[in-house]
Amino acid sequence: MNSTNLTTADGVPLKTSLRRAQRRHRLKAVLLVTPLFAFLLVAFVLPIMDMLTRSVDNPEVITYMPQTAEALIAWNGDGLPGEAVFAAAAHDLAKGSRERTIGHVASRLNYEKGGMRSLVMKTARKAKKWESGPYRELILAADKRWREPDVWLLIKRQSAPYTLSYFLSALDLRHGSDGSIESKPAHMKIYVDLFMRTLWMSALITALCLLLGYPVAFLLATLPMRQANLLMILVLLPFWTSMLVRTTTWIAILQSQGVLNDLFVWTGLIDDANRIQMIYNKTGTIIAMTHILLPFMILPLYSVMKTIPPSYMRAARSMGATAFTAFRRVYFPQTLTGIGAGSILVFILSIGYYITPALVGGQSGRFITNFIAYHMQQSLNWGLAAAIGSLLLGVVIALYMLYNRLIGIDNMKLG
Amino acid sequence: MAPPPYATGPERLWHYAFRLLCGLIFVFLIGPILVIIPLSFNAEPYFTFTKAMIEFDPEGYSLRWYEDFFTSQAWLGAIKNSFIVAFFSTILATGLGTLAALGMSSRHMPWRVPIMAVLISPMIVPLIISAAGMFFFFSKYHLTQTYLGVILAHTALGLPFVVITVTATLTGFNHSLTRAAASLGASPARAFFKVVLPLVTPGVISGALFAFIASFDEVVVVLFIAGPEQRTIPIQMWSGIREQISPTILAVATLLVAISIGLLTVLELLRRRGERLRGLTPG
């Protein structure tokens, strides 16, 4: 009998009926997820997109010096531009000065070349009083820096509505005077080193977490359940405690007038005058962050180790393996998924950490995130903040995909 | 637990050395949290134990930092704000997250993995990046410096916790229980309320607790998008640590640890109840 001939009681072919039922189920599932998905789209995904666009967005020159931008298109970049460009610039500068919008252009150009802010602001103030041309002479007389073709090349380059210059800055690169990309002089290089330091310190923190977390997870997985549950509380309590609280507590312990230094002095280990500087530097960041992230290592390790039957180790021992060989050849390979899950998780969380490095990192323990915050809140160079953020997000997403590939997002558990 | 009877001499030694090592790691984990509790009762404005404290002289201890906390307008305002924001964002996150988890745990859900990846992403994306994005985006719609903005942001950050916890509960759900209820004559609604709901509720409550604490402890996003009106406890602590470091912060920290202990206890009770209902007993 052919399967297409099967029908339900009311005469509908079974296949059709089944497909209809499944479609109904699918629709129900999709409808349940839709509100959350829509919410996340608006409250989370769009904001992230906004940040990504800001890293290439370049509206200042084209919005506030539109005539200059237009006139510079015709200029081939050789020598100084012609009177048309100067006239347009004089008009835009005067208008920008009157409408108080020229400051945006001045700050934008200043990100690319020091001194541009004062040059633009000063010339704009003078331009308000100019009645008629030739504007070339007026502008060149206003400040001799306008004689440099580089300045005009810079304005021409920044007239494009989109720019890569924030990304170049974030990678310690810049446009040379001929428009090619060159590396910044050594004393201006900050971000690549910071990225490297962030990655390196995060790797160290991950390694420390693994080193401390593995034995604890092993102990928890091998103890009888009642004892393991009790000890588990010692892991879960820090996990549930605000990381601000945990950072504060490390300040109390590690600072030079703090608990640990007092203990050292009291036991005579160190001299009162030579208290150890353990915080507001790299050491402080590493200790505090290892403590904060350790539960994120222990929990995935534990959930993998719990599934390994203890009889495997006993079997290995009974066949003559030493305890160490049995561990190395039988137990350890089975925990690799847990090591992968914990390590990627801790590493992802670590490179994006902001609060702890900001509070206990001092100068040497700062992370790349601290510079995102700096450009967001102090220097107000939001384009650069967005570009650094986009690069960081790229690293995180790559690691997130690796996590999904190796472990699967479905297997993520909490506590 | 004693070492196995067949263990050789060095193995016994290793066994106890390993226990000692684990003990030290547990001290590292829990010690710092315990240290601040006595320090918060310090009579002096120091972050360390004074001589009087070590000698257990009652003079060395006082409640002055707690008094400071409970009489300060700034701190009281922060408590109010923290609870308002955490309360509303928990309700929103739990509602939306539970619905979504019901859908995600269905076998018929298309594109499960990519959608799950998006739903969990607020937990993975560095907070500073979410905060920057929300600052840019929310300011376009005048949502920065408003309670609504902070609540929406915290809802997004709390959602992954609800989705993960409730989905995990539903994955372990035995569907033959509903069928059994139906075969015994229960209507679908009765089966849902009498059988499904009691089994799923612990998952929903723990998800809600996670969302609550995620909002209650969150600093970075509030730092970026909240105004002076919406200062929460973590923000107050943050500026306290950076500006005028006083042991009041230790008193607050101790209170927050007490809240964590409370939440952890509730979670543990829920877990036990869940295991009991599923017919599992701790060994």
- Over range A60-80, report the average pLDDT: 87
CA-to-CA separations, A63 to A67, A131, A161, in angstroms, rounded: 9, 24, 9
Residue B280: predicted pLDDT: 53
Nearest chain B CA: its distance from A228 CA (Å): 11
pLDDT at A1 over 60: no
User: Which chain B residue is nearest to residue A393, measuring alpha carbons?
Assistant: B125
Instruction: List, for residues B241-254, the tens digit of each pLDDT value.
Output: 887 677 888 888 99
- Over range A250-260, report the average pLDDT: 85
B145: left (phi > 0), else alpha (psi -120 to 50), else beta? left
Interface contact flag, A385 B132, Cβ < 8 Å: yes
User: Which chain A residue is nearest to residue B102, measuring alpha carbons?
Assistant: A32
Residues in chain A within 8 Å Cβ distance of B35: 249, 252-253, 259
CATH architecture of A191-411: Orthogonal Bundle (1.10)
Residue B282: predicted pLDDT: 44
Instruction: List, for residues A321-335, the tens digit of each pLDDT value.
Output: 888 888 889 999 999
CA-to-CA separations, B65 to B60, B99, B248, in angstroms, rounded: 13, 44, 5
Question: Which of A28, A48, A212 is closest, CB to CB, to B28?
Answer: A212
Question: Which of A237, A373, A408 is closest, CB to CB, to B261?
Answer: A237
pLDDT at B86 over 90: yes
The highest-confidence range among A266-280, A395-409, B140-154, by mean pLDDT, is B140-154
Question: Which of B26, B152, B263 is closest, CB to CB, to A240?
Answer: B263
pLDDT at B283 over 50: no
As separate numbers, helices (DSSP H) first and strands (DSSP E) second, chain B gives 13, 0
Tokens linked to A250: 């490390």
Work out the pLDDT band at B279, boundaries 50, 70, 90: low
pLDDT at B156 over 90: yes
Residues in chain B within 8 Å Cβ distance of A31: 103
**Chain A stretch 17-36, residues whose beta carbon is closer than 8 A to a beta carbon of chain B:** 22, 25-26, 28-33, 35-36
pLDDT at B196 over 90: no
Residue B2: predicted pLDDT: 67
Q: In chain A, which residues fall in CATH 1.10.3720.10?
A: 191-411
Residue B95: predicted pLDDT: 92
Give the integer Cα–Cα distance in Å for A197 and A143: 42
A220: left (phi > 0), else alpha (psi -120 to 50), else beta? alpha
Q: Which among B31, B188, B155, B133 is positioned nearest to A291, based on CA atoms?
A: B31
The mean pLDDT value of chain A amounts to 88
CATH architecture of B77-245: Orthogonal Bundle (1.10)
Interface contact flag, A216 B25, Cβ < 8 Å: yes
Rounded percentage of chain B residues whose pLDDT exceeds 70: 96
**Please, is B10 exposed, middle or buried when counting C-beta atoms within 10 Å of its C-beta (0-12, 13-18, 19+)?**
exposed
- Over range A203-232, report the average pLDDT: 92
Of A222-226, B20-24, B178-182, B194-198, minimum mean pLDDT range = B194-198
Interface contact flag, B126 A369, Cβ < 8 Å: yes
Residues in chain A within 8 Å Cβ distance of B13: none
B85: left (phi > 0), else alpha (psi -120 to 50), else beta? alpha
**Please, is B77 exposed, middle or buried when counting C-beta atoms within 10 Å of its C-beta (0-12, 13-18, 19+)?**
middle
- Over range A294-322, report the average pLDDT: 89
- Asked if A274 contacts A308 with a C-beta cutoff of 8 angstroms, the reply is no
Residue B85: predicted pLDDT: 95
User: Which chain B residue is nearest to residue A220, measuring alpha carbons?
Assistant: B22
pLDDT at A4 over 60: no
- Over range A36-53, report the average pLDDT: 93
Distance of CA A231 to the CA centre of its chain: 34
- Over range A98-114, report the average pLDDT: 88
- Over range A244-249, report the average pLDDT: 89
Residue A114: predicted pLDDT: 84
Residue B159: predicted pLDDT: 93
Q: Which among B201, B225, B203, B205 is positioned nearest to B213, based on CA atoms?
A: B205
Residue whose structure tokens are 């193995």: B11
The mean pLDDT value of chain B amounts to 86
Give the integer Cα–Cα distance in Å for A415 and A296: 9
User: Which chain B residue is nearest to residue A389, measuring alpha carbons?
Assistant: B129
Tokens linked to A248: 């504060």
Question: Which of A25, A43, A237 is closest, CB to CB, to B260?
Answer: A237
Question: Which of B11, B32, B113 is closest, CB to CB, to A253?
Answer: B32
For β-strands A181-183 and A173-175, DSSP reports them as antiparallel
Q: Enumerate the domain spans of chain B.
A: 77-245
